[in-house]
Structure 1
Amino acid sequence: MVQQYGDTATATQPVTATMQVPDDADATTTQRYEEARAAAHRAMSNVTIIPDRPSAALQAEPEAELLSYRGFKFGAAFFGWLIAIAMSVVLTLAVSAAALGTAEVLDYTRADAEAQPGAAGITAATVGVLVLILAFYTGGYVAGRLARFDGGRNGFGVWMFAFLFSVLAAGAGALVNNQYDLLDEVSRPDVSLSTDTITTAGIIAAVTLVVLTLLFSIVGGKAGKRYHDKIDRLLD
């Protein structure tokens, strides 16, 4: 293409324009990038991640109002003891009825029991211990449900009530016997066992009964508290 300016003809060649970015622009861009990166780092360092279920070490201390409901509760232990007594009576009646029915079916008489006093005594003691530990487990469970907290301690309270009332009843019985000598008037069957054997068996049965009823009272109290623990986990 030829353009004329006056008398002069000039051939125009295509020109390729190249934009040069000054060094100052590169420095500014790099500086802004570093500033943005530093700001993002500061923002991330201030973020606190809260777990869904914090561990026991991170949980806050219980409030004072909540602590006031913990510990031994007289009412819970007392009513648990009443339930234990009621259950022992009901279970004893049920076992007695079952034993009478079994004796009728098997034609088991008193003479048969006197012929084998050891087996009869062991069977009676075992059944009696099972009845009482089941009754005390039930009483401890009721105490744990009523107390809401510290089920094991309130289950122990059930056992303590039973122990204290047993001591009081034994003391009152001894006092009445000293006054009226009632034991001599009781007709006791003749058992072909020595006095030492009967005494030793009685001590073993008593210790076993005390230990097992204490253990099952505490276990029952913990089982009663577990009901409330399930509800608390659902509400969290």
Structure 2
Amino acid sequence: MKAKLWSLVVVLCISLLGFSVGIKAEAAKKMTMPSTETKILSQDELETKKEEIAKQIKYFDENGDEIHPYTLEELKNMIKLTPDQPQEPTDTEDHPFKLAHKTYTSTNFHFAYNVYLGKGVYGDAFKDPKTILVTPKGTAKPFNINVKYDKNGAPGSQAQKVSLPGGWVGEMHMNFSVKKGKKYRIQFDNPKSGKTTIYIKETVLWYN
């Protein structure tokens, strides 16, 4: 009788152990499954995401009026989401703009209000800025890029403003359409001034 009782106890323990292992394995499986936010997007999903972002990009002229210097397709081509990028980091040395223009590279900065590209409080003055490559750190938050006329070594009035949305990971290669032959200062501006901090991993500006 005791032998049968012990046999039942052993069988019950083994069953409980197997059940416990099964629960842990299932839990581990669920933990390792990618969430909807981190899953790798398909090409169609990437194109849809790019279009969603491109529709939120706004350009403004020196009077503050919204302008449309680029088509939706051109704006989409300026966006490179992380899953859409090659495995190796892109080398700006090989970019066609690099061959014909000067570049200014700034890495790893952040701002709660605004900051100018370059050294000092007002940054540097750049002649004929053509395009800027911006790579936010992590998921981008909304921010503006203000192109201001250089006036006696300080920022003057606005020449152009680009408003960029948040909620994406990757880089944007934004083009400027400003008057040629003039110097400008590039300001990064936080639309939620002081309420959040914007983190930028790298910025490369092409100019003459």
TM-score by length of 2: 0.35
Which has a greater percent of helix? Answer: 1
**Structure whose CA Rg is larger:** 1
Which has a greater percent of strand? Answer: 2
